[in-house]
Chains A and B, each alone.
Chain A
Amino acid sequence: DQQVKQNSPSLSVQEGRISILNCDYTNSMFDYFLWYKKYPAEGPTFLISISSIKDKNEDGRFTVFLNKSAKHLSLHIVPSQPGDSAVYFCAAYNSGTYKYIFGTGTRLKVLA
């Protein structure tokens, strides 16, 4: 029972264009959502987050959108840079259980 899904295993984008990574969840009890970036042979690093009471959060080139009715969130990276090439994980947090559930990840490749 995959509670958090990232249906696109990979994505290729030209440098300077927008990258859009998507994530769907099934559990309405999640109240906080996060995006992590992971390079090979390293641990995931935090990128951006959003509370369930908001629908948008922006930090520089990164924006996360949350659509609670659709149980969908997305990460927009504008403009994309070659250094953004990594695996991106979305995660959902349930403050009632203290659990963070991660998606399967999307490998982003930004082409120079």
Chain B
Amino acid sequence: NAGVTQTPKFRVLKTGQSMTLLCAQDMNHEYMYWYRQDPGMGLRLIHYSVGEGTTAKGEVPDGYNVSRLKKQNFLLGLESAAPSQTSVYFCASRTGAGANVLTFGAGSRLTVL
């Protein structure tokens, strides 16, 4: 049982390049979330999904797109990366009913030059 797996773990991009972060969970969780962590800013919600085929905006959605085509996967895309998107990105998931606990992945560190 791997839990929540994020790929890649590290990536360096140039300004204007695009990339996709993949989050995969094997717990059959309904809800999935993308956060970014920056010094002094805590964890800020980018986008989230409450089920396959659904997505919604969080606190800081600009510059990102997401897709949830399969229940187990939640993709975070950067169409045109900017230095302000240099951050550590965390994916989390939870079951749709019962306990409200989020399970996090180990993070993806992205640097935009």
**B40 engages A42 (CB within 8 Å):** no
Query: Closest Cβ of chain A: how far from B95's Cβ, in Å?
Result: 12
**B48 engages A98 (CB within 8 Å):** yes
Within 8 A of A (CB), among B37-53: 40-45, 48, 50
Complex alpha-carbon distance, A34 and B4, angstroms: 19
**B35 engages A49 (CB within 8 Å):** no
**B100 engages A93 (CB within 8 Å):** yes
Contact partner of A43 (CB less than 8 A), chosen from B4, B42, B56, B58, is B4
**Number of B residues contacting the other chain (C-beta, 8 Å)?**
25
**A42 engages B59 (CB within 8 Å):** no
Contact partner of B105 (CB less than 8 A), chosen from A41, A43, A101, is A43
Contact partner of B43 (CB less than 8 A), chosen from A41, A45, A46, A102, is A102
Decide yes or no: A99 and B48 within 8 Å by CB, A43-B4, A43-B107, A105-B42 being known contacts: yes
Complex alpha-carbon distance, A111 and B50, angstroms: 42
Report if B103 contacts A (CB, 8 A).
yes
Complex alpha-carbon distance, A57 and B107, angstroms: 29
Binding site for B on A (CB under 8 A): 6, 9, 32, 34, 36, 41-46, 49, 89, 91, 93, 95, 98-105
Report if B33 contacts A (CB, 8 A).
yes
Contact partner of B35 (CB less than 8 A), chosen from A42, A95, A98, A102, is A102
Kindly list chain B residues whose C-beta atoms are within 8 Å of the C-beta of A104: 40-42
**A49 engages B106 (CB within 8 Å):** no
Report if B104 contacts A (CB, 8 A).
yes
Interface centre among A45, A49, A104 (most CB of B within 10 A): A104
Query: Closest Cβ of chain B: how far from A103's Cβ, in Å?
Result: 5
Beta-carbon nearest neighbor of A102 in chain B? B43
Query: Closest Cβ of chain A: how far from B83's Cβ, in Å?
Result: 22
**A44 engages B45 (CB within 8 Å):** no
> What 7 A-B pairs are tightest by C-beta distance, nearest first?
A43-B104, A104-B42, A102-B43, A32-B100, A43-B106, A44-B104, A46-B101
Given pairs A99-B58, A100-B33, 16 additional interface contacts (CB within 8 A): A34-B102, A43-B4, A43-B106, A44-B43, A44-B104, A49-B101, A89-B43, A91-B43, A93-B100, A95-B100, A98-B48, A98-B50, A99-B45, A100-B92, A100-B102, A102-B45
